[in-house]
């Protein structure tokens, strides 16, 4: 099967003749200037034919016959000068002008003036020669097209052959793999069957062996059990047991188990105390169990509120409850001295804890942070007491210095020293001061001690000499 249809030579010649029929006209057009024709103009304006060099222009309003004015139908007859030159008009259109002078035109339409058939011998020879050249060119183009198509067909056939060869090779490879797979499957099935048979045989052997061993074990166990029973019977026969008369004489008789003979009259006949009896501890005619003893002790233990009130004299106190009721207090020793303090808000460090109230470590209301501040774990009221030592120095000395207690960002003045404390109105010596402040905190609040001093001034040294925090 061919990829492309063959060229229809007859149809090609026919189309060539049709093109060449206008060859003389085209030849003349090629040898002279272009004709510029304008279509007739329908107008009541006077005709003004224009004449340009090497161009013809036809403007005509004659030959117009109105057929139906309402429908805009008219008939136009071209004048003879409109066909004076063969060839197509460059532009053809109708122009309309109404009584008010408004002009409108139609779209362009095509007008082609055909040439006559009178030919001279030279013209005919020229046409034939040109025709033969064109036919020869068409034949060459046809041959080249046919050659190209055949080459394309051959190339395509070669490509198909190569593709089929590759496909055949792939099929052969696939068949080989299938055979290899079938061989492997067959071998696997054989090996599996062999393994199944061996497993079956081994299982049968194991079952037979187990059954034999079980039979022997059961037989041995039965023999041993029978021997043990026999030995026990023999031992029982040989045993030294009481006779009935010996047993009657040796053990108490039922008739002898009376209240008076066993001495129950010597024991109080009391009921067991319930929880209420145990907690009250008032009944003198009740027996008490270990659980009742615990209930009585628990009811006598004072709780936190009873210890805080301190009025009950019939209660016991546990060490833990006692420790929990003691108000928290913790004391810290002096901290590291700060030198050349010039920044407002500098943290003042305290020292390590040196003790406090009973169970103060486990009962702390706060966590001591790495920077010396305190983060509180519960809401409470505190009394914070502390001492400060200040060396102002001679270099740009401040005239006052505070150690303030901040709760979050809220300032609470704690320890303060001002110039009025000095006789000469300045702070140039070593000063010591104490301070105390009642502070309320909530869970999550942070308490920190920070420096306050005159802006642009400084202190030579500042040290927190003591700190005590206690709940109230």
HSE of 323, CA atoms in CB hemisphere, 13 A: 12
Collapsed DSSP state (helix, strand, coil) of residue 382: strand
Query: In terms of C-beta density within 10 A (0-12 exposed, 13-18 middle, 19 or more buried), how is residue 390 classed?
Result: buried
pLDDT reported for residue 418 = 67
Helix (H, G, I), strand (E, B) or coil at 282: coil
pLDDT for the residue 52: 40
Q: Please state, in angstroms and rounded to a whole number, the distance separating the CA atoms of residues 470 and 386.
A: 12
Give phi and psi for 129, each to the nearest 5. -60, -45
Give residue 56's pLDDT.
56
Q: Look at residue 359 in the predicted model and tell me its pLDDT.
A: 67
Q: How far is CA 467 from CA 212, 352, 374, 381, 430, in A?
A: 90, 10, 13, 16, 20
**What is the reported pLDDT for 34?**
40
- Tens-binned pLDDT, residue by residue, of the chain (472 aa): 455 566 677 777 777 777 776 666 665 555 544 433 444 444 433 344 444 444 556 677 777 888 887 777 888 887 776 776 677 877 788 887 777 878 888 888 788 877 654 545 555 555 556 667 777 777 788 788 788 888 888 887 888 888 878 888 888 888 888 888 778 777 777 877 787 778 777 777 877 787 787 777 777 877 877 788 777 777 776 766 777 777 777 676 676 677 676 677 777 778 888 888 878 888 888 888 899 888 888 887 878 677 777 788 788 877 777 766 778 899 999 999 999 999 999 999 999 999 988 767 788 999 999 999 999 999 999 999 999 998 888 888 888 889 999 999 999 888 887 644 444 445 556 778 899 999 999 999 999 999 999 899 998 899 999 999 999 8
pLDDT (0 to 100) of residue 10? 77
Looking at the DSSP bridge assignments, the partners of residue 406 are 411, 448
Q: Which two tokens mark 29?
A: 């057009």
In order of 16, 140, 209, 325, the CA distances from 6 in angstroms are: 18, 15, 91, 118
> pTM higher than 0.85, yes or no?
no
Contact 61, 47 (CB under 8 A): yes
Tally Cβ neighbours within 10 Å of residue 449.
Answer: 24
Q: What is the DSSP letter of 53?
A: T
Assigned token pair, 272: 């067991």
Q: What is the pLDDT, as a whole number, of residue 442?
A: 96
* 432-448 pLDDT per residue, tens: 889 999 999 999 999 99
| CA–CA dist 268, 284 (Å, integer) | 11
Q: What is the pLDDT of residue 3?
A: 53
Write down the pLDDT at residue 42.
Answer: 45
Query: For residues 127 and 125, what is the distance between their CA atoms, to the nearest angstrom?
Result: 5
């Amino acid at each position: 099967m061919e990829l492309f249809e063959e060229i229809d030579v007859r149809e090609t010649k026919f189309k060539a003749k049709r093109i060449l029929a206008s060859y003389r006209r085209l030849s003349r057009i090629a040898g002279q200037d272009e004709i510029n024709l304008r279509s007739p103009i329908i107008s009541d304006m006077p005709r003004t034919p224009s004449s340009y060099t090497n161009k013809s222009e036809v403007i005509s309003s004659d030959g117009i016959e109105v057929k139906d004015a309402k429908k805009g139908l008219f008939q136009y007859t071209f004048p003879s000068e409109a066909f004076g030159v063969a060839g197509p008009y460059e532009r053809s259109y109708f122009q309309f002008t109404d009584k008010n002078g408004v002009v409108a035109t139609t779209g362009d339409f095509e007008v082609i003036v055909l040439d006559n058939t009178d030919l001279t011998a030279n013209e005919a020879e020229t046409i034939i020669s040109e025709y033969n050249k064109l036919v020869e060119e068409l034949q060459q183009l046809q041959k080249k097209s046919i050659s190209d198509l055949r080459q394309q067909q051959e190339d395509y056939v070669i490509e198909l052959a190569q593709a089929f060869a590759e496909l055949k090779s792939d099929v052969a490879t696939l068949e080989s793999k299938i055979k290899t797979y079938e061989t492997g499957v067959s071998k696997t099935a054989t090996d599996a069957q062999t393994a199944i048979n061996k497993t079956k045989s081994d299982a049968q052997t194991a079952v037979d062996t187990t059954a034999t061993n079980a039979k022997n074990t059961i037989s041995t166990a039965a023999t041993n059990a029978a021997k043990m029973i026999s030995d026990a019977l023999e031992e029982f026969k040989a045993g030294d047991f009481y006779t009935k008369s010996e047993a009657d004489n040796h053990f108490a008789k039922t008739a002898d188990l009376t209240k008076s003979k066993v001495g129950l009259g010597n024991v109080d006949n009391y009921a067991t105390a319930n929880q209420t009896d145990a907690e009250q501890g008032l009944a003198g005619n009740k027996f008490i169990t270990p659980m009742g003893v615990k209930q009585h002790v628990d009811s006598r233990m004072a709780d936190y509120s009873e210890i805080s009130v301190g009025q009950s004299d019939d209660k016991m106190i546990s060490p833990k409850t006692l420790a929990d009721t003691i108000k928290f207090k913790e004391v810290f020793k002096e901290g590291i001295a700060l030198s050349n303090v010039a920044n407002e808000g500098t943290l003042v460090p305290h020292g390590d804890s040196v003790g406090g109230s009973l169970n103060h470590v486990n009962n702390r209301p706060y966590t001591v942070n790495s920077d010396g501040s305190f983060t509180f774990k519960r809401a409470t009221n505190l009394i914070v007491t502390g001492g400060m030592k200040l060396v102002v120095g001679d270099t740009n000395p401040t005239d006052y210095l505070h150690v303030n207690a901040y709760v979050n960002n809220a300032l609470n003045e704690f320890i303060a020293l001002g110039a009025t404390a000095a006789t000469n109105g300045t702070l140039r010596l070593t000063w010591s001061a104490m301070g105390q402040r009642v502070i309320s905190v909530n869970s999550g609040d942070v308490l920190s001690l920070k420096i306050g001093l005159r802006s642009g001034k400084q202190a030579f040294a500042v040290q927190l000499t003591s700190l005590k925090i206690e709940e109230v």
